[in-house]
A and B are shown apart, each in its own frame.
Chain A
């Protein structure tokens, strides 16, 4: 029974990691930018959820109607002001730029919001579903199913819609796509916006179970990078599977080995997977060149 509970905990945790990683993998796969400010975007969206609750009395789930468009705009602005001028620059220049952005956002948050921990004390977050002796937190269940819906939704969007097809096209071969008349700049902007809007969903949904402070993004983003690379860069289903794999590993190693060694365990698995399959679990060989799945 304990083993089952630990696996359930791990799967639910994996949902959180996946939800945070989906936006990152989209930006990775299409815009080909390693967004080191992704954690700070998560932090900002958590603050939006917190202030919507404390100032407007909005439930963090409802506040997504503010959070998602706001973060979409932030993504668009980031792309246009910071990434666009560096579009054809070497990739390390973009890394410097996004690292710089993350430092600016983190320290601005420290200045404006102080370093205090802020959280939403919602009775719903404490409720658990008991299934045959297994405790399942409702709030974590919501996150998990949202991760499923977002992954599938994004997959369908990329497969079925014109914009989605164009996004896949530029991910596969940006020069050829441009020759076919696709507006590269507009699509990069939209993709960065969607990637940032997806992190808003994560920020809003995890707020009832976590708490926000200026460096909270740093805590999550390293795991998100592991999930993205492990699952296969640019692969939505890979992010979901990678998230769940890391979540379950985290949970099992924390219980059966040592809670302080769980990061070591999943980083070892991460290294092994990369050695055996450098493109990640769901990626094709050379996927980083070939783009979206």
Chain B
């Protein structure tokens, strides 16, 4: 009897394996993420990821996507090589339909090409390198503005924000452009040059330099000889500090230095130069949580959610832009009605989200396939901050300005 029982149990066990299990219906949507979570870029990489994570939490609170909860599968991209490996894993092993990323242009550049090969959507939230969307990759979309947009916004701010306040016009204001000559400064300067040509604005100086230099006195002298009212500057932290210090030493004074969100908006820049930069240095870049809540509806709630979720204050401005871009992805997936990458691409191309429907007040509309920067959000733009009393406050556009703050021009 005992022998029969053992035989019956074995048969049942074998039958159990012979027939496929009836799996429970997938109740989650898996989305991949590629950010630097360790290594030298981890500080801002993780801060960027936190923005996407907040968007995931907010959406799950609303019931998720297509009736399912969203789950992140996080890849760690220390550098471009690791980014390719992690993207490969997310595409082939985890089989995610979409990858979010990535903060750093070099990482985005490598990871997005790999995702595109696997026909997986790469949704870029924060890397600005122009070439990311200039390669004609069908599955690559970017919600943030580009590097050359930085330069254009610098010039626009000089013309629209500064010129009227110092009694100058587009034709009389004297604008100098200086930039470090690597992959960051060069596209910014090109953006300035292109828009200046388009608008008929003459730059009184347009000079590049190596950011590893130990002396910028000749550049300061050259710019001083051009007698500008405003200097548009694209610098990393060390060269930004050096230029300002040597400008002080050699008596180069202008109404405003306008940076492009490089080293000039970092705490080390303020620490090195102290109150000398107050009301003197503006920055074009991403906005933080000090946006005016009347303009960025819900920014105060998002700031509170950040603190509650991560048990600390935000360490940079990066999470806000990543949050907004991820929320736009949820909208696209809902409209696609599926997580099939081709359906997502189709829905993304049909996207037309008005400015007032987004946290940052600019809409989402991607450049079409026939455009040279296919997949780039054509409505994205930057905000302008100014150092005042040792802090960076948003001052432009005026509607978005930090509460009680506005642009200050020193006499």
Determine whether the beta carbon of B217 is less than 8 Å from that of A117: no
Which A residues are CB-close (under 8 A) to B248? 126
Closest CB-CB distance, B59 to chain A, in whole Å? 35
Closest CB-CB distance, B351 to chain A, in whole Å? 38
14 more contacts with CB within 8 A, not counting A219-B212, A250-B218, A259-B208, are: A117-B238, A117-B268, A118-B268, A119-B271, A210-B214, A211-B242, A211-B272, A213-B238, A219-B213, A220-B214, A259-B210, A259-B213, A259-B219, A259-B222
Kindly identify, within residues 106 to 129 of chain A, every residue whose CB is under 8 Å from any CB belonging to chain B. Answer: 115-119, 121, 125-126, 128
Which A residues are CB-close (under 8 A) to B295? none
Q: A222: nearest residue on chain B (CB-CB)? A: B212
Q: A13: nearest residue on chain B (CB-CB)? A: B215
Does B61 touch A at the CB level, under 8 Å? Answer: no
Kindly identify, within residues 205 to 241 of chain A, every residue whose CB is under 8 Å from any CB belonging to chain B. Answer: 209-211, 213, 218-220, 223
How many residue pairs bridge A and B at CB < 8 Å?
101
Does B237 touch A at the CB level, under 8 Å? Answer: yes
Does B250 touch A at the CB level, under 8 Å? Answer: yes
Closest CB-CB distance, A250 to chain B, in whole Å? 6
Which A residues are CB-close (under 8 A) to B404? none
Determine whether the beta carbon of B215 is less than 8 Å from that of A255: no
Determine whether the beta carbon of B218 is less than 8 Å from that of A260: no
Does B209 touch A at the CB level, under 8 Å? Answer: yes
Does A6 touch B at the CB level, under 8 Å? Answer: yes
Does B20 touch A at the CB level, under 8 Å? Answer: no
Kindly identify, within residues 242 to 294 of chain B, every residue whose CB is under 8 Å from any CB belonging to chain A. Answer: 242, 245, 248-251, 268-269, 271-274, 276
Does A293 touch B at the CB level, under 8 Å? Answer: no
Does B225 touch A at the CB level, under 8 Å? Answer: yes
Determine whether the beta carbon of B241 is less than 8 Å from that of A117: yes
Which A residues are CB-close (under 8 A) to B273? 121
Which B residues are CB-close (under 8 A) to A13? 214-215, 217
Which B residues are CB-close (under 8 A) to A250? 215, 218
Kindly identify, within residues 156 to 185 of chain A, every residue whose CB is under 8 Å from any CB belonging to chain B. Answer: none
Which B residues are CB-close (under 8 A) to A253? 218
Closest CB-CB distance, A9 to chain B, in whole Å? 4
Determine whether the beta carbon of A117 is less than 8 Å from that of B218: no
Does B52 touch A at the CB level, under 8 Å? Answer: no
Determine whether the beta carbon of B218 is less than 8 Å from that of A255: yes
Q: Which residues of B are at the interface with A, using a C-beta cutoff of 8 A? A: 40, 181, 207-210, 212-219, 221-222, 225, 237-238, 241-242, 245, 248-251, 268-269, 271-274, 276
Closest CB-CB distance, B249 to chain A, in whole Å? 4
Closest CB-CB distance, B316 to chain A, in whole Å? 13
Q: A116: nearest residue on chain B (CB-CB)? A: B268
- The residue that B210 contacts in the complex, of A9, A247, A252, A263, with Cβ under 8 A, is A263
Determine whether the beta carbon of A9 is less than 8 Å from that of B250: yes
Which A residues are CB-close (under 8 A) to B276? 126
- The residue that A2 contacts in the complex, of B225, B241, B251, B272, with Cβ under 8 A, is B225
Does A5 touch B at the CB level, under 8 Å? Answer: yes
Closest CB-CB distance, B42 to chain A, in whole Å? 12
Closest CB-CB distance, B259 to chain A, in whole Å? 15
Q: Number of contacting residues on A, CB 8 A?
A: 39
Determine whether the beta carbon of A255 is less than 8 Å from that of B222: yes
Does A137 touch B at the CB level, under 8 Å? Answer: yes
Given A135-B249, A209-B245, A251 and B238 contact (CB-CB distance below 8 Å): no
Determine whether the beta carbon of A126 is less than 8 Å from that of B249: yes
Enumerate 6 A-B pairs (CB-CB under 8 Å) in ascending A order: A9-B215, A121-B271, A210-B214, A211-B268, A247-B215, A259-B213
Closest CB-CB distance, B278 to chain A, in whole Å? 13
Does A38 touch B at the CB level, under 8 Å? Answer: no
Does A69 touch B at the CB level, under 8 Å? Answer: no
Which A residues are CB-close (under 8 A) to B213? 219, 259, 262-263
Report the Cα distance A200→B186, complex, angstroms. Answer: 37
Report the Cα distance A219→B238, complex, angstroms. Answer: 11
Which B residues are CB-close (under 8 A) to A119? 241, 268, 271-272
Does A278 touch B at the CB level, under 8 Å? Answer: no
Q: A128: nearest residue on chain B (CB-CB)? A: B249
Determine whether the beta carbon of B272 is less than 8 Å from that of A254: no
Determine whether the beta carbon of B217 is less than 8 Å from that of A254: yes
Closest CB-CB distance, A187 to chain B, in whole Å? 33
Which B residues are CB-close (under 8 A) to A259? 207-210, 213, 216, 218-219, 222
Determine whether the beta carbon of B210 is less than 8 Å from that of A260: yes
Determine whether the beta carbon of B251 is less than 8 Å from that of A128: yes
Determine whether the beta carbon of A219 is less than 8 Å from that of B214: yes
Determine whether the beta carbon of B219 is less than 8 Å from that of A254: yes
Which B residues are CB-close (under 8 A) to A258? 207-208
Q: A125: nearest residue on chain B (CB-CB)? A: B245
- The residue that A121 contacts in the complex, of B215, B242, B274, with Cβ under 8 A, is B274
Which B residues are CB-close (under 8 A) to A128? 249-251
Report the Cα distance A125→B238, complex, angstroms. Answer: 17
Closest CB-CB distance, B46 to chain A, in whole Å? 15
Which A residues are CB-close (under 8 A) to B238? 117, 211, 213
- The residue that A115 contacts in the complex, of B40, B209, B212, with Cβ under 8 A, is B40
